[in-house]
Amino acid sequence: MTHEVPEGWRKSTIGDISDVVTKGTTPTTLGYGYQTKGIPFLKVENIDESGNIQKPSTFITEECHCAFRRSIIKKDTILFTIAGTLGRIAVYKENQEANTNQAVALIKGITENLCFVSYYLQSHGVRKLIEDQKTTGAQPNISLTQLKRFPIALPPLPEQKKIAEVLSSVDEAIAATKAVIDQTKQVKKGLLQTLLTKGIGHTKFKQTELGEIPESWEVLSLDDITPPDRKITYGIVQAGPHVDDGVPYIRVSDMNETGLSLKGMMRTSPDIAAKYKRSEVKGDDIVYALRGKIGHVLPVPDFLSGANLTQGTARIAPGERVTSRYLFWVMAAPRTVQLALREVKGSTFKEITLKKLKSLLITVPPIEEQNQIAEKFDGIETALNVSLEKLAQLQVLKSGLMSDLLSGRKRV
């Protein structure tokens, strides 16, 4: 963190601008136990990386709370984690008092703008201080003495307030976008449950192995819906060393939440890939995680046509009975994932076998209705991706503003 400050700003420390920088203790050290109700007892895990305080699951008695007077949390106290996960920040905004343990420091009685100080403690400069000064052992930590000595560059109070307002407005936009994302995910989850069991506009239903479904639908195994010449299979057993211009192969670790990408994907030699022609993938195939993220599925994009797999992933190729998009969505449905998890074997190394995967049952509507169902899901997925992209942009914006405004490179 630089020692230079902009004109009109002044140097100080966290200890100089707050009445108390303290931490709590564990109730059991003084013979107290945890309760299911009473005074909230906050721990590191109750403070998330976004600065929100999650609802606590542990509480203490009023007597214990009074015994730990130095670590009483009141409204407008800054919480700063100093053990385990370091440097998580939150401002306590509740009227009800709370308490905490020795992993959370409390910064009280701040003489400057509270919001500005909380943002400053999230800055890159403070993060670097934490990395430079932390000690390691059973878990990383920084001391109260170190925290008190953390430098802070302070603009005049009106400028502090203005900086805090700018950053707060971005945080409000981030929170609103996250709320939209959460709501969209809930709608998606509900549709996955209803559209894949009730369909669109049906009035007549029948009982099957998968429960009640529309009368015109079928229940088929995955083996039934794949082409005879492209049955479900896993890929390369030993891919050998990475070959820069070789054939890419898809691992479970390549299967992220947003889709498959060539970035970071390993490649094998064309000779090895040729021996596993049976597991070559094409655009519109589905890749299925047999291990680790069991049940996670992704569509194969056209640019990965000709790529291969590993032993941890399987290819599911749609035949004439199902469309690729419908197959993807029915495989992503919570019910299908749960059915697969019931077939998992192993205790420490869990996987689903190809035999069990092939026998997995899915609902199969007529092709026209499959297209209608997939179209609805694709629309929701598009809306979700738009919100996720907006969130990413807002987070980049906040990072840039914090860097500029909290250093004084840009004045408000």
The model carries a pTM of 0.81
Instruction: Give percent of the chain above pLDDT 90.
Output: 85
Distance CA 345, CA 335 (A): 19
Mean pLDDT of all residues in the chain? 93
**Locus of tokens 């890929």:** 235
Helix or strand run (H / E) with residue 362: strand 361-364
| CATH number for domain 10-154, candidates 3.40.50.150, 3.90.220.20, 3.40.1360.10, 2.70.70.10 | 3.90.220.20
Residues of the chain with CATH 3.90.220.20: 10-154, 218-364
Cα-based angle 11, 17, 15 (whole degrees, multiple of 5): 90
Q: Residue 389 contacts by C-beta under 8 Å, 6 or more apart in sequence?
A: none
**pLDDT value for 2:** 47
Express each pLDDT in 102-161 by its tens digit: 999 999 999 999 999 999 999 999 999 999 999 887 889 999 999 999 999 999 999 999
Q: pLDDT at residue 1 above 70?
A: no
If you write DSSP's letter for every residue of 364-375 in order, what string do you get? E--HHHHHHHHH
Integer Cα distance of 226 and 367 in angstroms: 15
- Which of the following CATH numbers is that of domain 218-364: 3.30.70.260, 1.10.8.60, 3.40.1280.10, 3.90.220.20? 3.90.220.20
Instruction: Assign domain 156-194+367-412 to its CATH superfamily.
Output: Bipartite methylase S protein (1.10.287.1120)
List C-alpha distances in Å: 182 to 122, 176, 288, 364, 408: 25, 10, 25, 29, 35
pLDDT digit string (tens) for 263-313? 889 999 999 999 999 999 999 999 999 998 899 999 999 999 999 999 999
